[in-house]
Structure 1
Amino acid sequence: MSRRRKIIVLCAAALLAYPGVTYVQALTYPGNAPWGVRTVDWLRDMGGGQVVNAVENWWYTRHQPPNTAPPPDSLPGTAPAGQQAVPGTHPGAVGVTGIPLPGEGVWVPGARLPDGAAADYTTFVRPDPQHAAVVAGVAWLNQSLVRTTLIAGTKEPRGAAGPEGAAVPGSLRRSLLATFNSGFKMRDCACGVYLDGVQGPSLREGAASAVVHVNGRVTVDQWGRDAALGPDVVAVRQNLDLVVDNGKPVTGLWQNPAGQWGSASNQFQYTWRSGLGVDRAGNLIYVAGDKLTLTTLAQALVQAGVVRGMELDIHAQMVSFNSYRPDLPGIPPQHLLPSMQGSPDRYLAADQRDFFAVTLAAAGQSARSR
C-alpha cells in the first residue's frame, strides 16, 4: 500500500473512531441521565441538532391527545373532606372551564408548619378545550414559608459542579419540601445563568428569568425590564422568553416567529412541558403536564393564577416535580402527577442538569446557590 493510501486509511479510521469515543464519554459522563437523554445530547453536541429537532417535531406533532376524559389513575389524589382549607395563606381560585372533574381546581394542602399552616398546595387543571384528556398538575409554594435554591448539575449549566455538588446537599434534606427541573440546555435556549457569583453564559436582555434572591424568594421576570444583577440576587436561570405576562399568554406563542420559544415548530409539539411563574401575591407556581403545546402550557399557567411565567424544560425524561413531607418524615416523596417518569428521589443523587430545591424556611436554611 502506498504511503498516500496509508495516510488516507489512518485519517478515515481516526474520523470513524472519534464519534465512538465521544459517544462512550457521553454515556459514562458523571451524573444521573437516562440513556436516551445522553444519546440525544450527544447527537446535538455532534452537530445533529437540526435532525433531532426535525424528528421530534415529526413525532410529537402527530400524536395528538384524545378529546375524552383522562383515565382516573392519571389524576393526582384529592384532599379528604374538610381538609382543603388550613390556617395561613391560601392560593387564589383556579380557572376551570366546563364541568370539572372531581378534584379539578381544588387545592390540596401539603407540608404543614407547627401552627398548621400549609407551605404548599397542589391541584390540576385541563387547559386544552379541544383535548379533554390533557391534564396539567399545579404546585403552589408559599414564598413566605419556603426558600428556594438553584443547584448546578454535573453538566449544566457549565459543567462546573462535581458529583457531590449536583444533588440536594445534606444540609437541606431534613427541611426539603420539593425539587423540580430547570430549563433547556444553555446552548439551546439562547440565554444565560448567574450562579455561585459567576455569570456565564452571559445573561440575555429580554430573556425570561427565574431570579433567586438572598432571602430565598424567586421572581420570574423579563431580564433588563423587571430585574437586574445586584447584591440582592444570588442566582438567575434564564430560559427562552416569557410565555405569560400581565396575567395573559404572550402574543405570538402559536407562531414562534423569531424562535423566542425554541426551535421552529417546537410550539406545536404535544409533549411533556413544564413552566414556572408567580401570582399577584408573589407566590411561586409550577405547572407541568403531558401532551401540552406551548399555548396550552401558557393557558395552564394563567388558570393557576400566574401573572408572569416562563417555560422550563420539555419532554418526559426532563420534566420532574417531586414533593416531600418534612413534617411527616415517614411519608415517601411523590410526583406532582402519577404519570411523571423517573424516581421521586431523582435529585437526591447527582444529576447532569441544574434544578431547583425548595425547603421550609422555618429550618433557617440558607437560600444561597450551591
Structure 2
Amino acid sequence: MVLALAVLLGGVVVPSASLVQALTYPGEASTTVRLVEWAREHGGGGIVDLVENWWYARPPVVASLAPADLPAPPTAVATGSPPVLAPLVPALPGEGQWVAGASSSLGEPAIYTTFERPDARHRGVVVGVALLESRAIVTHLIAGTRQPLPQTRADDARVPDALQSSLVATFNSGFKMQDAHGGFYADGHVAVPLRDGAASLVVRRDGSATVGQWGQDAVAGPDVVAVRQNLDLVVDNGRPAPGLDGNTSQSWGTAKNQLQYTWRSGIGIDASGNLVYVAGDGMNLVTLAAALLQAGAVRGMQLDIHSEMVDFFSYRHGAGSDAPVATKLLPTMPGRSDRYLVPDQRDFVAVTLR
C-alpha cells in the first residue's frame, strides 16, 4: 500500500465518478493497483514515478534464503532436460537444475522450470526460469478487461474453459499500453497500432511464438495471429542491449525506472526457438538482461514489473479431472494461484499442449 498512500498524501486522489469506476471495474486487480493506475491515468504519473524511484532505489539485502522461498529441487533428472544452468558457488539446493512439468501425448515434457542467481553482487536475488518447448506447445495472447482496451467482456478475460484441460502455463504480459511504447494485435484486430522497432512477442498461426524486434525479426503477414509489444529489446544477438543502465532515450520506461530493484519479468527465445521466461524480485534492468542471458535467451524483452504485476503459473491435472492445479514459478510470487483462471484486468499469455 506504500504507493497508494503516497499518492493519497500527494493530493492526487480526489472523489470522482472515475475513481469509483476504477475501484469497481470488472476483472482481478487489487485496490492498490487500481488506485495507482487511476492516478497515472489522471495526471499523477509523475508523483507515482517519483515514489517508485525512491522506494525501489535500495539494493536488495538478503542475509540468507529460507528453503520455503525456493522451488523444490528435482527428485530425478528428466530424460532430455536442458543443460544445467551454471549456479553461483556455493550453489543452493536445486539451483540451475531443471524440473520437468506437463508432458505432451508423446510423453515429452512441454515445460521445464528451475531458478538461477544472476547477480553475484546480490547473491540473495533468486530468479525463476521456465523453458517452454516450442514443438510441444500452443501460445495464446488473451486480452484483459482493461488492457489493451477496456472493452473485453469479463468472462473472456480469462483462460477459456475449452483450454483448461490442456493448460501448461500462464504468465503476465507487458506494461499498460499507454506506457508500453508499442501495440497489441490479436484475433484479426489491431487494438493498439504496432510500432516498428518495438520488442515483440509474436504468435504464429501454428501456435508457435518468437520474440524479436518488430520489422526486423518479425513482420506482419498471414502467419502472424497475435503480437504484444513492450518497449525495446533488452537482449539481442545473445548480448545485453547497449545503454540499459542509462536509459537515456527512455527506451525501457520512464527515467530511472531501469535502476529500480524490484520484481521484474521477461520473455525471450533461445537458439532452438523455445520460449524462455524469467522473473524475480530485487532486479534492476541490467540484472533482468543477465537473467535472460543466463537462461539461454538470444533475444529477450522486458515484460511487466512490480510485485502485483509479475506472475507465472505452471499446471498439472489430477487423475480424472480437467481442472488445472497451479504451481507458482517462485513460492514468493505474491499473486493468487487462480489468477488468469478468473477474469483479469490485464492481458496475459496462456500456453497449452499442442
Taking structure 1 as the reference length, the TM-score comes to 0.89
CA deviations on 1:226-271 (whole Å, 9 max, x unpaired) are 1111000000000000001111111110011100000100011110
Matched, 1:300 2:291: yes
State the identity %. 54
Q: Is the aligned partner of 1:232 residue 2:228? A: no
Shift of 1:331: 7.4
Report the residue type matching 1:204 in the other structure.
Answer: R
The reply on whether 1:65 has 2:65 as its aligned counterpart is no
Match of 1:260 among 232, 251, 255: 251
1:141 aligns with 2:137: no
Gaps of 5+ in 2: 1-11
Alignment partner, residue 209 of structure 2:
218
8 A Cα contact 2:167 2:324, kept in partner: no
Greater Cα offset, 35-44 or 326-335? 326-335
Q: Are the aligned partners of 1:111 and 1:327 in contact in 2 as well (CA < 8 Å)?
A: no
Q: Pick the structure with greater CA Rg.
A: 1
The letter of the residue matching 2:220 is L
User: What's 1:193 paired with?
Assistant: 184
**Aligned letter for 1:45?**
E
The CA distance in 1 between the partners of 2:203 and 2:173, in whole Å, is: 13
1:191-246 per-position Cα deviation (integer Å, ceiling 9, x unaligned): 11111212232111110000000011110010111111100000000000000111
Rounded to whole Å, the distance in 1 between the matches of 2:162 and 2:104 is: 19
Q: Which residue of 1 aligns with 2:197?
A: 206
Equivalent-residue separation in structure 1 for 2:14 and 2:279 (angstroms):
38
Q: Does 1:335 align with 2:335?
A: no
Give the one of 67, 70, 79 matched to 2:74.
Answer: 79
Distance 1:115 1:195, change over 3 A: closer
Q: Does 1:20 align with 2:16?
A: yes
Contact 1:95 1:304 in 2 (8 A): no
Picking from 36, 49, 55, the partner of 2:51 is 55
Once residues 130 and 254 of structure 2 are traced to their aligned partners in structure 1, the CA distance between those partners, rounded to angstroms, is 28
**What residue ranges of structure 1 are gaps of 5+ in the alignment?**
1-15, 362-370
Q: 1:233 to 1:17 in 2, by over 3 A?
A: closer
Aligned partner letter, 2:305: I
Deviation at 1:96, TM superposition (A): 2.9
Q: Is the 8 A contact 2:165 2:324 kept in 1?
A: no
Match of 2:29 in 1: 33
Structure 1, residues 29-86: CA drift from partner, whole Å, max 9, x if none?
A: 1111000000001000111111101100000013x21264422221101111xx2222
Query: How far is 1:277 from its partner?
Result: 0.4
- What whole-Å deviation, never above 9, does each CA across 1:118-154 have from its counterpart, x for those lacking one? 1110000001111110000000111100101000000
Find the residue that maps to 1:200 and give its secondary structure: strand
Alignment check: 8 A CA contact 1:70 1:134 kept: no
Q: How many Å separate the matches in 2 of 1:116 and 1:321? A: 23
Answer whether contact 1:204 1:223 (CA < 8 A) is retained: yes
Cα distance change on mapping 1:18 and 1:104 into 2, 3 Å: closer
- Report the structure, 1 or 2, having the larger strand content: 2
Query: Which structure 2 residues correspond to residues 56-135 of structure 1 after superposition, within 5 A?
Result: 56-62=52-58, 64-66=59-61, 68-80=63-75, 83-86=76-79, 89-135=80-126
